[in-house]
Amino acid sequence: MAAPAGTSVFYDRDVQAVFDRSCTGGCHEPGGIGVIDSGLDLTPTAAYDSLFDPTLSRNGPQAVVEDPDNSLLVWKLEGVDPTGRGVSVPVCLWSDPRSPCPKSRPSGRGSRRAL
């Protein structure tokens, strides 16, 4: 999940663009199932604080800076989550514009694997 060597990644330009394209269409936006279930609002005005301010989430901090092994966001993107909270949305799913946000929870739970 790291950027290639020599590449600069900017939150506003790169990360938020992924959220806008893949996460907010009915899920992680006000009134969406992702916000209702977790409190995680990934719209441009709320995403950064939603990810890093543990008081804004029902599940604690969503992203842990420089600690992907303890980042709920990374677990969701890998499609595994040992906590069993919410819905896992593997990168292969959310990166496909034809895939809508899951409307129900998956029946099985994966196991956390090392990065």
Q: Classify residue 87 as left (phi > 0), alpha (psi -120 to 50) or beta.
A: beta
Single-letter amino acid, residue 75: W
Cα 106 to Cα 95: distance, rounded to the nearest angstrom: 18
What pLDDT digit, counting tens, does each position of 11-49 carry?
Answer: 888 889 989 988 888 889 999 988 888 888 999 999 999
Q: Which residue has the higher pLDDT, 111 or 61?
A: 61
Q: Which residue has the higher pLDDT, 92 or 34?
A: 34
What pLDDT digit, counting tens, does each position of 45-65 carry?
Answer: 999 998 888 888 777 778 888
pTM tops 0.85, yes or no? no
Q: Where are the domains of the chain?
A: 11-94
Of the candidate ranges 6-10, 32-36, 83-87, 104-108, the one whose mean pLDDT is the lowest: 104-108
